[in-house]
């Protein structure tokens, strides 16, 4: 019976982040967290594949103590158990650190045939943790997958890469990063939500994984994070009849010389 591990990141919901108009600093004080959108596709795909191949599914995340809230959400989506690397180091982690931690956790978990990740995280969208983890584990990575199936001990996946698709076949163990179009994550049922509370959770700290300080220190040095300001003309026609507004817009576009 194959083992599938779906990795996810517990991220701030960008819709709740406000930008301070003067300083352009981000105000995250009222931001709720969520399982990164693309990672929901990874969890869903793990569960879909398990339904077809009889595999066992576990989830894996690296987050600070607040990521505890994510475990029930993840487990209600179908995995039988959860691994959680609970460490404040997650706050300063870049993809280098995250990949080191996840790879170490996967080694400690011991058994993995297929590792699933989203194509990128919805906060950083750095699109690198998946292939990094595969490289660290010395296994193949099949990235940007729009369709996959498991046959025996092989994964057959269709990658969608810019202007072409290609079909890639790899034996276990293999890491797959999925595109959002691969599936539509189901909304957990009440029964699944209630059942999630009974599923086993394994919790580790970074120290439990035997990682050296160097491996948990971010390589990317952040100088600043500021709200993005789109500087545009903002000429909006909102009063008058539709014909008036269209006349106003057409006059503006003619003046711009774009018609």
Partner 1 sequence: MAGIWIYSEDTIITQQIITLGRELAEKLQQPVCALTLYAQDAQTLIAAGADKVIVMKGDNPWPESYAEAIAAQAEAQQPGVFFIGATLRGKDLAAKIAAKLQTGLITDAQAVRVVDGAIETERMLYGGLAVCTEVLSGMNVVTIPPRAYDVPAQDAGRSGEIVTVEVTAAAAMAVGNVCPIVRKGADITVAEKLVCVGRGLGKQEDMQLAQDLAAAMGAELCCTRSVAEDYHWLPNEAYVGLSGQKVKPVIYLSMGVSGQVQHVAGIRDSKLIVAIDMNENAPIFGAADYGIVGDLYQVVPLLTEAIKNK
Of residues 177 through 196, those in contact with partner 1 by CB under 8 A are 179-181
In terms of Cβ atoms closer than 10 Å to its own Cβ (0-12, 13-18, 19+), residue 15 is exposed
75 or 112, CB closer to partner 1? 112
> Per-residue x/- mask for partner 1, residues 74 to 113, rule CB under 8 A?
--------------------xxx--x--------------
The verdict on 247 binding partner 1 (CB under 8 A) reads yes
Task: Extract the tokens encoding 136.
Answer: 């660290």
From the CB of 160, what's the least distance to partner 1, in Å? Answer: 7
| Residues of span 36-55 touching partner 1 by CB under 8 A | 38
Query: Taking CB under 8 A as the rule, does residue 205 contact partner 1?
Result: no
The answer to whether the Cα torsion of 44, 143, 111, 101 is positive or negative is negative
Q: How many residues bind partner 1 (CB under 8 A)?
A: 82
Least separation in angstroms between CB 196 and partner 1: 27
Residue 114: closest CA among 51, 53, 75, 172:
172
On whether the CB atoms of residues 78 and 43 are closer than 8 A, the answer is yes
- CA 102 – CA 116 distance, rounded (Å): 12
**Closest approach of Cβ 231 to partner 1, in Å?**
10
Closer to partner 1 by Cβ: residue 191 or 219: 219
Measured from the CB of residue 122, what is the shortest distance to partner 1 in angstroms? 7
Residue 255's φ and ψ, nearest 5 degrees, are -60, -35
Beta bridge partners of 26: 19
225 binds partner 1 (CB under 8 A): yes
Pair 54, 42: CB distance under 8 Å: no
Q: Are 85 and 155 in contact (CB under 8 A)?
A: no
Does the protein bind partner 1 through residue 170 (CB under 8 A)?
yes
Site for partner 1 in 109-148 (CB under 8 A): 119-120, 122-136, 139-144
């Amino acid at each position: 019976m194959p083992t599938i591990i779906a990795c996810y990141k517990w991220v701030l919901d960008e819709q709740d982040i406000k930008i301070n108009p003067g300083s352009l600093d981000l105000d995250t004080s009222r931001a709720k967290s969520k399982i990164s959108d693309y990672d929901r596709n990874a969890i869903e795909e793990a569960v879909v594949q398990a339904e077809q191949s009889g595999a066992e599914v576990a989830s894996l995340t690296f987050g600070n103590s607040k990521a505890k809230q994510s475990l029930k959400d993840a487990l209600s989506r179908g995995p039988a158990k959860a691994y959680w690397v609970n460490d404040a180091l997650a706050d300063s982690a870049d993809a280098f650190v995250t990949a080191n931690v996840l790879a170490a956790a996967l080694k400690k978990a011991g058994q993995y045939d297929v590792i699933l990740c989203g194509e990128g995280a919805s906060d950083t969208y750095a699109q690198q943790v998946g292939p990094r983890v595969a490289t660290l584990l010395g296994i193949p990575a099949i990235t940007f997958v729009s369709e996959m199936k498991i046959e025996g001990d092989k994964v057959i996946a269709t990658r969608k890469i810019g202007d072409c698709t290609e079909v890639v076949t790899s034996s276990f163990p293999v890491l797959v990063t999925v595109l959002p179009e691969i599936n539509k994550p189901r909304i957990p049922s009440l029964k699944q939500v209630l059942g999630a509370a009974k599923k086993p959770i394994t919790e580790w700290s970074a120290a439990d994984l035997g990682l050296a300080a160097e491996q948990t220190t971010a390589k990317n040095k952040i100088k600043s994070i500021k709200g993005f300001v789109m500087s545009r003309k903002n000429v909006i026609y909102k009063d008058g009849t539709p014909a008036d507004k269209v006349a106003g817009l057409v006059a503006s576009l003619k003046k711009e010389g774009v018609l």
